[in-house]
Chains A and B, each alone.
Chain A
Amino acid sequence: MSDDEQKKSVAFGEATNMENGETVNLAAGDEATAEHHSAENGEATPATFDPSAMKKKKKTKKEKEPEGEEPKENGDAAFDPTALKKKKPKKSKEEGAEAAEGDAAANGDFDPTKIKKPKKSGEKKKKSSGGTAGDDDFESRLKKLGLDEKEEEPSVPQTQEEVEAELQQGIGAWAQDNSSPFKYTQLLKRFYINLYEDHPELSGEGRLKNYKIPPPQVVREGNKKSIFVNLPEIARKMKRNPDHVIQFIFAELGTNGSVDGSGRLVIKGRFQQKQLESVLRRYIIEYLTCGTCKSPNTTLNKENRLFFVSCNVCGSRKSVSAIKTGFQAALGKRRKQQA
């Protein structure tokens, strides 16, 4: 998810840069203004991203991490935050709020600026070109620009197909004379595409998606208990010890329960089928799928108190963390605890 966003944002940044570069080239008449403008653009876009603003917030709120960027605040940050009284937190919060607003504004502005900026530059050019050359000239330039844009855009492919196509044809980033350095993500994509073409069985493409287990059947018992009816069946399908699955479910849901006579799992608390589904999905991802080939055909065994998942398809092994319940908040009545 975040990876994707990153990629996209990276691609976006490149696109705008390119366009800026083009504006410089095309508006040869008033190169100076265009350059100036593009320079502004170039500066403006990173400025909205400027991490120092966010850093400031972090610092003011926590006032701990020493950083050389804001000497003023470092002076404030020198003292112990635990010793702070009311005045300080208020101030920092205000600042934090401001910074947050700034952040929000930056985030909100983010896309529009990107879309707008090329337009703006176009408008400027329109004025300037209208002054220096005829309208036809400008239109032809615009067309050129549009064409160029179209040509340039695919060099930052965003979909899988585009990447594949580029790879096969050896164009774009993969052209022989391409001098720009490869990005890690690009190379990684290339690796997976090649792997999928040559050894589809290793790439595990879509294998997990096809993996099916019967949906959990949940019945409510009374008002406060849920019964997970087909847990034994699911555990058998997954080739896992039911106890392990139960342990995981209890740890995830932060509750407890018991197994009744016919193997059904009684869980304290109200849970719906889809909630248990998501828990099971997490279990499958963590304890069932092979880390390398994504196959669910794995076995879990314990060695020296460490759990290992070994794959029956590709033979790889990975260690998985033991199930930990973690912090459990005390619920219920105070009287009970004290007694």
Chain B
Amino acid sequence: MSLDNLKTFDPFADTGGEEDSSAQANIHIRIQQRNGRKTLTTVQGLPKDYDPKRILKVLKKEFATNGNVVIDDELGEVIQFQGDQRTKICNFCVNELKIPKQLIKLHGF
């Protein structure tokens, strides 16, 4: 066990890659400012057993906003929405997907 652990630790490896596995459980909901007072909300780290496209489809209708699924090299599929949908998404995750609130990280101001 301990030996295995030693083997897996590569001091020359890039940081970040390993940390992902530990922080994977968290769902990050972020906001980014665009031009003017426009914003963009991104949802990163939804559990793998949910199909992001279907979630997106439901949420788009519910929030009356547009959005899409972006495939990121490191983080996999990330859902983007127009506008500030952070709290709504958070509520959705808690109420519909039954994700414990501690795992959802709301970022931004």
Q: Binary interface profile of A, 52-67, with partner B (CB < 8 Å = 1, else 0)?
A: 0010011001101100
Cβ-defined contact, B109 with A327, below 8 A: no
**CA distance in complex: A327, B45 (Å):** 10
Q: Provided the pairs A62-B50, A275-B109 are in contact, do residues A327 and B101 lie with their beta carbons within 8 angstroms?
A: no
Count, chain B residues at interface, CB 8 A: 36
Q: A interface vs B, CB < 8 Å?
A: 2, 54, 57-58, 61-62, 64-65, 81-82, 89, 93, 96, 100, 103, 251-255, 269-272, 275-276, 278-279, 305, 321-322, 324, 326-329, 331
A161 to chain B, nearest CB (A): 27
**CA distance in complex: A280, B50 (Å):** 33
Q: Which residues of A contact B61 (CB under 8 A)?
A: 93
**CA distance in complex: A326, B19 (Å):** 12
Cβ-defined contact, B54 with A329, below 8 A: no
A210 to chain B, nearest CB (A): 25
Cβ-defined contact, B108 with A327, below 8 A: no
Cβ-defined contact, B15 with A89, below 8 A: no
Q: What residue in chain A is nearest B102 (Cβ atoms)?
A: A2
Q: Which of A57, A65, A252, A272 contacts B108 (CB 8 A)?
A: A252
Q: Which of B4-51 contact A (CB under 8 A)?
A: 15-16, 19, 23, 28, 30-34, 37, 40, 42, 44, 49-51
A322 to chain B, nearest CB (A): 7
Q: Binary interface profile of B, 89-108, with partner A (CB < 8 Å = 1, else 0)?
A: 00000011110010000011
**CA distance in complex: A130, B75 (Å):** 69
Residue of A89, A254, A255 ringed by the most chain B CB atoms within 10 A: A254
Cβ-defined contact, A324 with B108, below 8 A: no
Q: What residue in chain A is nearest B23 (Cβ atoms)?
A: A321
Q: Which residues of A contact B80 (CB under 8 A)?
A: 329
Cβ-defined contact, B50 with A324, below 8 A: no
Q: Provide a sorted-by-A list of 27 A–B residue pairs whose CB atoms are within 8 angstroms.
A: A2-B101, A54-B95, A61-B55, A61-B58, A62-B49, A62-B50, A64-B49, A82-B53, A89-B57, A100-B96, A251-B107, A254-B32, A254-B108, A269-B33, A270-B33, A270-B37, A278-B109, A305-B15, A321-B19, A321-B23, A322-B15, A322-B19, A326-B28, A326-B75, A326-B107, A328-B32, A329-B42
